[in-house]
């Protein structure tokens, strides 16, 4: 089996795909190109546009299509507009995917940080942070991961196989910034949740890991974030496609003996003590 068939006959769900230049859509694109039957989910109605783009990519059809390469594009991709922080949304997705394909093998929880076309990331000091700010940040960055995981775990346990890959960050588990206390708390909690989950489900054929990106150039990147990327060990920001490659690896059978881990993808930024312009030190 070639790498292009890596996810043939596997059923995957990716959340947080609304942004055309984001990590979620890049990950969904990679899975479809490698043969997965896929559901994409987001709170934004842009999920439907992203799904149409994914359908145009082709790929290897599997699962409910019997592994036929010529299966209609509509049979390979499903789109769901749901508020993933409420249990009813993920449960509806899980029920439909099980009805259509009999199971879900892969869950990739990327939804978080901000709502496309809605509130952005909260940057406030601890003193300024309102109860609503705190609740909102934890809801979209932590609760979405928990509710989706709980919705899809039963089918994975029943089938004795699953790959769960969560979006954490270097911000929180390893480093932080002023004004990001709520975000840092949420992403650190995702890492802790992933470790506990890995211990609970490992002997049932399920792995759980988290990805911790650093400076990645997405559609929402700021000039300050671009400057941060230029001062990494590799001297540039990362790309959504590079992060998607890590998500895809952890979602694959090749990652069968990796679980409970937080994998950093940040161009070597966190290994540096000095993070200013290299010409002033290196």
Active centre residues (catalytic): 183
Residue with tokens 């994409």: 40
CB atoms within 10 A of CB 49: 14
Q: Which two tokens stand for residue 33?
A: 């190109």
- C-alpha angle with apex 243: 87 to 239, nearest 5 degrees? 125
């Amino acid at each position: 089996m070639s790498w292009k068939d890596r996810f043939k006959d596997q059923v995957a769900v990716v959340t947080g795909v609304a942004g055309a230049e984001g990590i979620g859509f890049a990950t969904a694109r990679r899975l479809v190109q490698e043969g997965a039957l896929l559901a994409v989910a987001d709170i934004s109605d842009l999920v439907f546009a992203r799904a149409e783009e994914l359908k145009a990519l082709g790929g290897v059809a599997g699962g409910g299509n019997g592994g036929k390469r010529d299966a209609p594009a509509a049979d390979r991709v499903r789109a769901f507009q749901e508020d993933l922080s409420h249990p009813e949304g993920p449960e509806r997705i899980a029920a439909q995917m099980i009805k259509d394909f009999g199971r879900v093998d892969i869950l990739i929880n990327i939804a978080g940080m901000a709502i496309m076309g809605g509130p952005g990331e909260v940057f406030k000091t601890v003193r300024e942070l309102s109860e609503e700010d705190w609740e909102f940040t934890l809801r979209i960055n932590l609760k979405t991961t928990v509710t989706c995981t709980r919705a899809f775990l039963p089918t994975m346990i029943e089938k004795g196989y699953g790959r769960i890959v969560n979006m954490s960050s270097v911000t929180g588990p390893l480093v932080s910034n002023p004004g990001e206390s709520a975000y840092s708390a949420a992403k650190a909690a995702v890492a802790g949740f992933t470790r506990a989950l890995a211990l609970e489900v490992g002997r049932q054929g399920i792995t759980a890991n988290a990805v911790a990106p650093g400076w990645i150039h997405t559609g929402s990147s700021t000039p300050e974030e671009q400057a941060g990327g230029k001062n990494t060990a590799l001297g540039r920001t990362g790309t959504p496609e590079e992060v998607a490659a890590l998500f895809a690896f952890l979602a694959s059978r090749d990652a069968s003996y990796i679980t409970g881990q937080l994998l950093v993808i940040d161009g070597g930024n966190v290994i540096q003590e000095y993070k200013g312009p290299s010409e002033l030190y290196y």
